[in-house]
Structure 1
Amino acid sequence: MPEPALSRAAHHGEPAEFADRSGRAPDGRAVDSGSGNGSGSVQSVDRALTILKLLAADGELGVTEIAGLLGVHKSTASRLLATLETHGLAEQLPDRGRYRLGVGVLRLAGATRSRLDIVRESRPVTAPLAADIGETVNIVILSGTETLYLDQVAGPSALQIHNWIGHRNPVHATANGRVLLAHASATEAEAILGAALTPSGRLRALTPNTITDRAALQAALALVRRDGYAVAVDELEIGLTAVAAPIRGVDGSVIASLSVSGPSFRLEATRMPRAIKAVRDAAALVSARMGYLAPSGGIRPV
């Protein structure tokens, strides 16, 4: 027999204050009412998240049911549901007045799934590439006005670049960032560049080699669009060079960047043509695995 929703919530570690209207936890401890020091806002967030969990578990619930499960007044539950509805995370069924999860939850889940898919689908390509070229291979996306490193495969070289997974970097100073910026919408690109501007109107310099002039950066982005790759030498860090190319999704839009990075003394000019070809080919393979079919017929998934 299925567990009642309230029992499930308690069993899965839901906050104790949701189980009792008396303001006390089941063991008799007084529960913080949320007054002072912003704890009321934290409690509201906690309750809203619990509503999402309850809707996920039960499918549909009415305001009265939700209020009872949370141990709050019906008006409080209504306000929380209204806020979730505003953000598309919950929706009210017009015929019965009950609530269910909104499509906004699907969008959030889809964003997470797409990131996981990129990592999963890139590994059969990035691991052999790292072994073949001997340097670190990265998978990077745009996150707000910065780049976010989703995955990294280290090459066999003795001297390795440190782990970038989960790390954020300025977009304008990296090869990955330029690939992503070159294919961003005008509005998105303006926001990204605006975040990198200094009071003098120039882009923030991370090293003496960082491009800080907006016109020069725009010219570099035009080359990225024309040639299909970006190179950054000693711009993020002195001694670090990277080559990047775009990963495209099923609709042809650029969803991520694939790069090879390593010490500048190893990724020097004579190795660059091979590195560029390897990165472009690898990015095309990952794109194919993500469902993209190039206009000429494209590289099929391996």
Structure 2
Amino acid sequence: MKNGTVRAANGAAGTTTGGVQSVDRAVSVLEILARRGEAGVSEVAADVGVHKSTAFRLLSALEGRELVEQTHERGKYRLSFGILRLAGAVPRRLDIPEQAGPVCRTLTAQLGETVNVAVLRSHFVVNLCQARGPSTVSTHNWIGESTPLHATSSGKILLAHMNAEQRRDLLTAAGLNRLTPRTITSAETLEEQLSIALRDGYAYTVEEFEEGLNAIAAPIRDHTGEVVAAVSVSGPVYRFTERWLHEIARDVIAAADAISRRMGYLD
């Protein structure tokens, strides 16, 4: 009786594990089709790492739920309108601070510095949420504060992803006021920095907004691919050096990408 109970329990556990694996594989299939546009059974099987018969069963199940459909070219599959039915309910409820919060807390624990998420409001940048690391207990609370576009890392990355006309109008309205001896007040120099930020995927400031404060930021995208916010990391110059800014750039970009995925963006 005891052995029978153990076998039954193991069988239930095996069924649960298999079910989770099937769900994971089905989600992988959807992601593959989202990335490729369309794919055949063999391509899906190779990408997921399963036998063709398994890939076919997964595709058939998803087709039954109207999440995928066959193209005119027999054997090829693509995402179907069922995806739109599910996705249509998501963007309306996505909240940037809510989606960014977990990622920001992870990043600040990793780097030990203050992490902020900011958005464009009029011709300023407004910080929506903030996470503080163990070494930033007394850091200023930036939530709700408006900061200048041209002198902050978040502002620069948002400017870099605007079209030239919008950028020109915003900077004309805001001006390029000098806030510290290192603030960029030349439109030409700022444009050069924005071009580099667009190329490299991040922007930074070195004591441009506040003396003794450095920062770096990367863009956050929504489900349409539009840049809607920026995640930044800032800290005092004595430990947050200009050299270290560039060393952690990959971490900041990865955090921005993670938030973008939570916002529904597929690269």
TM superposition score category, shorter chain reference = 0.5 to 0.7
The Cα offsets for residues 123-170 of structure 1, whole Å up to 9 and x where unpaired, read as 111101111100000000000000010000111105542000000011
CA distance in 2, matches of 1:145, 1:116: 24
CA distance in 2, matches of 1:226, 1:122: 24
CA distance in 2, matches of 1:134, 1:123: 16
Q: Which amino acid aligns with 1:290?
A: M
Q: Secondary structure at the match of 1:287?
A: helix
Task: Name the residue aligned to 2:161.
Answer: 183
- Alignment of 1:280 with 2:258, yes or no, is no
CA distance in 2, matches of 1:161, 1:240: 11
Q: Which amino acid aligns with 1:147?
A: V
- Alignment of 1:251 with 2:224, yes or no, is yes
Q: Is the 8 A contact 1:115 1:150 kept in 2?
A: no
Answer with 122-131 or 264-273: which moved more.
Answer: 264-273
Structure 1 residue 276 displacement after superposition: 1.0
- Alignment of 1:213 with 2:186, yes or no, is yes
Answer with 153-162 or 163-172: which moved more.
Answer: 153-162
CA distance in 1, matches of 2:214, 2:136: 17
TM-score by length of 1: 0.56
| The structure with more radius of gyration | 1
What is the RMSD of the two structures over their aligned residues, measured on CA atoms?
1.7
CA distance in 2, matches of 1:173, 1:116: 29
Task: Name the residue aligned to 2:117.
Answer: 139
Task: Name the residue aligned to 2:140.
Answer: 162
CA distance in 2, matches of 1:116, 1:150: 14
Q: Is the 8 A contact 2:154 2:230 kept in 1?
A: yes
4+ aligned runs moved over 6 Å, structure 1 = 113-116
Task: Name the residue aligned to 1:7.
Answer: none
Task: Name the residue aligned to 2:149.
Answer: 171
Whichever structure has more helix as a proportion of its residues is: 2
CA distance in 2, matches of 1:223, 1:191: 21
- Residue number among 118, 143, 152 corresponding to 2:96 in the alignment: 118
Q: Which amino acid aligns with 2:194?
A: L
CA distance in 2, matches of 1:167, 1:222: 27
Structure 1 residue 265 displacement after superposition: 1.1
Identical columns (%): 45
Q: How many residues align?
A: 177
CA distance in 2, matches of 1:114, 1:274: 36
Task: Name the residue aligned to 1:271.
Answer: 244
CA distance in 2, matches of 1:114, 1:152: 23
Q: Which amino acid aligns with 1:279?
A: V
Cα distance, 1:251–1:205 mapped onto 2, change above 3 Å: same
Question: What are the within-5 Å matches in structure 2 for residues 19-58 of structure 1?
Answer: none
Q: Is the 8 A contact 1:139 1:150 kept in 2?
A: yes
TM-score by length of 2: 0.63
Answer with 147-156 or 272-281: which moved more.
Answer: 272-281
Q: Which amino acid aligns with 1:267?
A: F
Q: Is the 8 A contact 1:154 1:160 kept in 2?
A: no
Give unpaired runs (5+ residues) of structure 1: 1-112, 198-202, 295-302
Structure 1 residue 115 displacement after superposition: 9.6
CA distance in 1, matches of 2:98, 2:235: 23
